[in-house]
Amino acid sequence: MNAAFNPDKQHTLKSVVSISGTGLHTGIKVDMILNPANAGFGIQFQRVDLPGQPVIKADCDLVTDTSRGTTLEDKGIKVSTVEHILAALAGMGIDNCLVEINGPEIPIVDGSAAPFVEIIEEAGILEQEAAKLWYTIDSNITFFDEEKRVEMVAMPAIEYQITTLIDFNSPVLGTQHASLKHLRNFKTEIAPCRT
- The CATH number corresponding to 9-131 among 3.40.190.10, 3.30.230.20, 3.20.20.210, 3.40.50.300 equals 3.30.230.20
Pairing of strands 71-74, 125-131: unpaired
Share of the chain above pLDDT 70, in %: 98
Give the list of residues 6+ apart from residue 135 with CB closer than 8 angstroms, or none: none
Q: What is the pLDDT of residue 3?
A: 60
| Phi, psi (rounded to 5 degrees) for 174 | 60, -145
| Residues in the chain, overall count | 195
The pLDDT tens digits of the residues spanning 175-195 come to 988 888 888 899 999 999 887
The pLDDT tens digits of the residues spanning 53-106 come to 999 999 999 999 988 899 999 999 999 999 999 999 999 999 999 999 999 999
Q: What is the pLDDT of residue 194?
A: 87
List the chain domain ranges.
Answer: 9-131, 141-189
Exposure of 65 in the CB half-sphere (CA atoms within 13 A): 13
